[in-house]
Amino acid sequence: MKPNRKADLLDKGFLSKRAAEVMKRAKNLVRRQEKEEAAKQGLLSNIEEAPALDLNFKADYHQTLFTGRDLSLEIAGRTLFQGLNLAIAQPRDCGFDRAKRQRQEQFFGLALG
């Protein structure tokens, strides 16, 4: 018996039902993803914000901020310098450039341990 091509072309109910099911699944997936994304956004928006801290800076009246005597630095068994006397006076201006401040922080970190 030969397949009836006209009957195959006229029987579109199965195909349209199948396409509708696939589309429904896709829409549900998109809806669920949007819902999960909205929930995550809600979690991110509930993060506490810390109030800005006000610093009550009082200028130090000492003229010398740091005094070091007989300083030495040894790294990996190699002495870089020894017997160094160092005195750091209070700066007259407040503005430090970033590179200078970083070098000072590194030095104080090494000097103070």
**pLDDT tens-digit readout, 31-55:** 999 999 888 877 776 666 777 777 7
Domains identified in the chain, total number: 2
Report how far residue 65's alpha carbon sits from residue 96's, in angstroms, rounded to the nearest whole number: 16
Instruction: Note down the domain range covering 26.
Output: 5-45
Query: Would residue 59 count as lying in a domain?
Result: no
Query: Would residue 50 count as lying in a domain?
Result: no
Query: Would residue 11 count as lying in a domain?
Result: yes
Whose CA is closest to 90, among 55, 64, 61? 64
Q: Letter for the amino acid at 5?
A: R
Residues 36, 69, single domain; the answer is no
Higher-pLDDT residue of 24 and 99 is 24
Residues 71, 100, single domain; the answer is yes
Query: Would residue 56 count as lying in a domain?
Result: no
Query: Would residue 81 count as lying in a domain?
Result: yes
Query: What's the average model confidence in pLDDT over 75-86?
Result: 87
Query: Would residue 53 count as lying in a domain?
Result: no
User: In which region does residue 86 sit, left (phi positive, over 0), alpha (psi from -120 to 50) or beta (all else)?
Assistant: beta
Query: Would residue 106 count as lying in a domain?
Result: yes
